Structure formats: structure tokens, C-alpha cells
């Protein structure tokens, strides 16, 4: 992509409305713009990040056996009356009436809708298990939308739902999602810690939240340092092997970890030696629940079992805050100059900077590199604008692409470009004809995924 043809409205000044660094940087880097409280447009740079996050979510969901579908944002109120949640949900739910006076709502979550689909279309135990997910916008009329997309009112969520014939099978489905979440967040370059959680309005008795550490997180977290030494990116898993999956869950739930909602200081002190106790703040990026028949019972979601008798289906639900993740990743990875994208979610692999736009030799060298890098399959943002070098550097640092390839007349005399790593700031002179190989090497995904 040529910057001259891209839409990247960067801001020089810190926007006054932004209280936390991710919100500030997302606005400054031209990723998002607010439309009304808690509702945002995603500009091209932000949209590319959102897409990368969704790709990673999809890949691991598929590996774990979940099927993608798409349900609407608008739901009939009647569905929610059947589960009994229509009145409980209160003012968080955006209620809408259409021209025929039908009562509708903008979905805050989809347990009712998917349970009704399964109740209608699945008759036999032979058709289970099923795990269905979608990535769709949600609306919750939060009392205090704040921190940009971190706590929006309209936000993008991946929500999945499992359906099984027995509690045992349902728990195995829960475990698969638990492990899929560990791998998903690790693939984004995040260390997410699973913490036992309260189930809240979704209900049920088994639940974990996945939190990443950040000073600006809304939850206080207390956990055993052992989590910091675990590397979920290296987890190998056979999702067909229930016991092996359960063993990973056991390993990741053994050390103490809790958010302030259910934190038990006495237990913390008893179970975790002082030097291993960590207290900090965290951002909830995922939340999983096993709630058995909480929705299937009132909504008559049953199947015929092997013995010909009707059994009520056992379910769980599994959410990932896709749009919140874009901000959470920035909270976890930035410096004074701007964002520092982990490679897997970066909007482009690298930025190619032409230091003397209009100089024939520099332009020619950049054009050649731009084409060669793209032909090698890399995603390149080519800064071909006629701005001052200082402005180009500052903008490229701000938007945080993992690598920069800098081409100017001085280096070109020796046939060289400068390669800079955004995270470490380390630079290296590289021969023009070695740049592609160097970048391919640098940008290839680390092992452990897929």
C-alpha cells in the first residue's frame, strides 16, 4: 500500500478526551474515530488490525472444531421473554420498536437465538456435539462507556456456543475452548491469564475470564507468578483427546488466580508463597461459561438420546472481545513514540520509508524494493509522500509497524538500506539485494501455531 493513496489521518496532538494510552494512540494513529459515546468507526489502519485479530480467532476456533456462522444484530424481544432474561437485562439492553410495533432489540449476546436454532433444527443425539460461533457487533448501553473501544457500547465480539448430550461432554467442550483461548491470545503475542470468575447475568457454575496485565486494567488481579513462566504459544494439543485437553486445563487452573470479584486473601496467602504472589491490574479479553441447561430448559432444547428418551441439551458460551483486544494489545505493547505491534496483529508487516521522495535514484530503489517485498508475500506500507524525514519517522514510529526499511541517498551510494526493528530500536545496514530475504525471515510467524 502506498501511503500517498492510503487514508491515515494521524494527529500530532494528544486528543484531550483520551484518558488511557491505547485510546490516545488509536486516535492519533488514525485507527478509529468516535461517532457518539461508545460507538466508533474503524478507519483503514484500525480495520486491518481488527481483521488480523479475527483471522487468529477464526484459525484456532476451526482447529478446536467450532463452526462459523453469522446471526443478526437485531433480535426479537419474544426470544428473550422465553428465557426470562428480557426484563432482567434492564437498561443495558437497547430496545427498539419497528413500524409495525414489533418489539426488537440490538443483541448484547446470543444465547437465546442460538438455542432456539438448535432447538428447532437438531433432533437427535447423533447430531451433537456442536459448537457454533460468530463474530458480530453487540450493543450494551454501558453506564460509563470509556477508554475508547476498551469499554464501548457497540463492540465486536466473537461469541460461541456449545451443545452436548451430557454434562461430561459439555465439560469437555468447555475445556476445548479453554485451551483454544490460551492459544488464541498467545498467537496474538499476549500473555493472558485464566482466572476463575463469577458467572453474572449469563449464569451457570463454571466460568473463567482471561485477563491480560496492564496498569490501566479495570480489574484488580491476584495470581501466582507461576503463570508468568508458562508459554501457551508452545502448547501442543490434540483437540480430539478429551483427557489431554483436560490435563492442560488442570495445569492452567492449579495455581491461584482471581479477579477482585471473587478474590480470597486468606486462600491467596495460604496457597501462594509470598515471593510468588503478584497483585496487579488486568483487562478482560475473554470469558467462558458452562451453564448446562440454563437456556436449553426454558427454551425446550432437547434431543432424543440413544435410549429413545428426551434429554435436555447441555451448553456453554464463549466470548472474546475482538474490538477490545485491539486496545488491550496496545496497552500491553507501546512506548513513548507510539504503538509497538506484535507481528501477528500488525496492520502491515513493515514500513518502507523513502527519505528523498522525488530524487530519481531513491525513488527507483524504493519502487524496486516495494515490488520485491510485495511479491515475497509481505504486507508493506510504502511511505512515498514528500514529507520531511522527521515527520516520516515520527509517523512510522507512531503507527508501530514491526519493521522499517529506510532508503535514502546516503545509504544508496553503498547499495544499502537501513532496517530497523520497532520494538528494540536496533538498526542494521543491509544490502539492497538482501532486504527481501532479511524481511521474510523477520516477519515469518514463529512456530507454535497452526
Does residue 89 bind ligand ATP (CB under 6 A)? no
Partner that binds at residue 24, options ligand ATP, Mg ion, none, CB closer than 5 to 8 Å by kind = none
Q: Per the structure block, which three cell numbers stand in for 113?
A: 437465538
Q: Give the binding range for ligand ATP (CB under 6 A) out of 151-159, 298-306, 378-386, 391-399.
A: 151-159
Three-state DSSP string of 259-309? ECCCCCHHHHHHHCCHHHEEEEEEEEEEEEEEEECCCCCCCCCEEECCCCC
Does residue 151 bind ligand ATP (CB under 6 A)? yes
Q: Is the four-CA dihedral 47, 49, 50, 51 of positive or negative sign? A: positive
Q: Between vectors from CA 69 to CA 185 and to CA 246, what angle results, nearest 5°?
A: 45
Does residue 140 bind ligand ATP (CB under 6 A)? yes
Helix axes 167-187, 242-253, angle to 10 degrees: 60
Give Cα separations from 383 to 52, 359, 375 (angstroms): 22, 14, 18
Binding mask 295-334 for ligand ATP (x = CB under 6 A): ------------------------x-x-xx----------
Number of residues near ligand ATP (by CB under 6 A): 15
Min CB(322)–Mg ion separation in Å: 14
Compare residues 345 and 366 and give the one whose CB is closer to ligand ATP. Answer: 345
Looking at 60, 112, 284, 293, which residue binds ligand ATP (CB under 6 A)? Answer: 284
Q: Which of residues 10-69 bind ligand ATP (CB under 6 A)?
A: none
Which of 302, 345, 347 minimizes the C-alpha distance to 30?
347
Which of 209, 213, 214 minimizes the C-alpha distance to 253?
209
Per DSSP bridges, beta strands 206-213 and 277-292 are: antiparallel
Determine contact, residues 42/32, Cβ cutoff 8 Å.
yes
Which residue's beta carbon is nearest to the bound ligand ATP?
321
Place of cell 530475504: 437
Compare residues 324 and 422 and give the one whose CB is closer to ligand ATP. Answer: 324
Compare residues 287 and 294 and give the one whose CB is closer to Mg ion. Answer: 287
Does residue 347 bind ligand ATP (CB under 6 A)? no
Min CB(109)–Mg ion separation in Å: 10
Partner that binds at residue 66, options ligand ATP, Mg ion, none, CB closer than 5 to 8 Å by kind = none
Does residue 174 bind ligand ATP (CB under 6 A)? no
Q: Which of residues 388-447 bind ligand ATP (CB under 6 A)?
A: none
Give Cα separations from 403 to 5, 7, 8, 124, 395 (angstroms): 21, 20, 18, 53, 13
- Point out which residues bind ligand ATP (CB under 6 A): 109, 140, 142, 151-152, 155, 157, 284-287, 319, 321, 323-324
Amino acid at each position: 500500500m502506498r501511503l500517498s493513496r492510503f487514508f491515515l489521518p494521524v494527529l500530532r496532538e494528544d486528543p484531550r478526551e483520551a484518558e488511557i494510552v491505547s485510546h490516545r494512540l488509536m486516535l492519533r494513529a488514525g485507527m478509529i474515530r468516535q461517532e457518539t459515546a461508545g460507538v466508533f468507526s474503524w478507519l483503514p489502519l484500525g480495520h486491518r488490525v481488527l481483521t488480523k485479530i479475527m483471522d487468529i480467532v477464526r484459525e484456532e476456533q476451526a482447529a478446536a472444531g467450532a463452526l462459523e456462522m453469522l446471526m443478526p444484530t437485531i433480535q426479537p424481544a419474544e426470544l428473550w421473554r422465553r428465557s426470562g432474561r428480557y426484563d432482567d437485562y434492564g437498561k443495558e439492553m437497547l430496545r427498539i420498536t419497528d413500524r409495525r410495533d414489533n418489539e426488537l432489540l440490538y443483541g448484547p449476546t446470543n444465547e437465546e437465538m442460538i438455542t432456539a436454532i438448535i432447538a428447532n433444527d437438531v433432533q437427535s443425539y447423533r447430531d451433537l456435539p456442536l459448537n457454533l460461533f460468530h463474530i458480530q457487533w453487540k450493543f450494551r448501553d454501558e453506564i460509563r462507556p470509556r477508554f475508547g473501544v476498551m469499554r464501548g457500547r457497540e463492540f465486536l465480539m466473537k461469541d460461541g456456543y456449545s451443545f452436548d448430550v451430557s454434562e461430561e461432554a459439555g465439560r469437555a467442550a468447555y475445556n476445548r475452548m479453554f485451551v483454544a483461548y490460551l492459544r488464541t491470545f498467545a498467537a496474538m503475542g499476549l500473555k493472558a491469564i485464566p482466572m476463575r470468575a463469577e458467572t453474572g447475568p449469563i449464569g451457570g457454575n463454571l466460568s473463567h475470564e482471561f485477563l491480560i496485565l496492564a496498569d490501566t486494567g479495570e480489574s484488580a488481579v491476584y495470581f501466582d507468578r507461576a503463570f508468568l513462566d508458562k508459554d501457551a504459544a508452545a502448547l501442543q494439543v490434540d483437540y480430539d483427546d478429551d483427557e489431554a485437553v483436560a490435563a492442560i486445563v488442570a495445569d492452567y487452573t492449579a495455581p491461584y488466580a482471581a479477579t477482585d470479584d471473587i478474590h480470597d486473601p486468606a486462600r491467596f496467602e495460604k496457597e501462594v508463597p509470598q515471593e510468588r504472589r503478584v497483585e496487579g491490574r488486568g483487562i478482560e479479553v475473554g470469558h467462558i461459561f458452562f451453564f448446562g441447561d440454563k437456556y436449553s430448559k426454558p427454551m425446550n432444547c432437547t434431543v432424543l438420546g440413544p435410549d429413545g428418551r428426551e434429554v435436555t441439551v447441555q451448553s456453554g458460551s464463549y466470548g472474546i472481545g475482538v474490538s477490545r483486544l485491539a486496545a488491550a494489545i496496545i496497552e500491553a505493547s507501546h512506548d513513548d513514540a507510539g504503538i509497538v505491534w506484535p507481528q501477528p496483529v500488525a496492520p502491515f508487516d513493515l514500513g518502507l520509508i523513502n527519505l528523498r521522495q522525488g530524487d530519481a535514484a531513491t525513488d527507483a530503489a524504493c519502487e524496486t524494493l516495494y515490488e520485491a517485498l510485495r511479491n515475497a508475500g509481505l504486507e508493506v506500507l510504502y511511505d512515498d509522500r514528500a514529507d520531511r524525514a522527521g515527520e516520516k519517522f515520527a509517523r512510522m514510529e507512531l503507527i508501530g509497524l514491526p519493521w522499517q526499511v529506510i532508503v535514502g541517498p546516503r545509504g544508496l551510494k553503498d547499495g544499502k538500506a537501513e532496517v530497523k526493528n520497532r520494538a528494540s530500536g536496533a538498526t542494521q545496514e543491509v544490502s539492497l539485494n538482501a532486504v527481501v530475504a532479511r524481511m521474510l525471515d523477520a516477519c515469518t510467524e514463529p512456530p507454535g501455531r497452526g
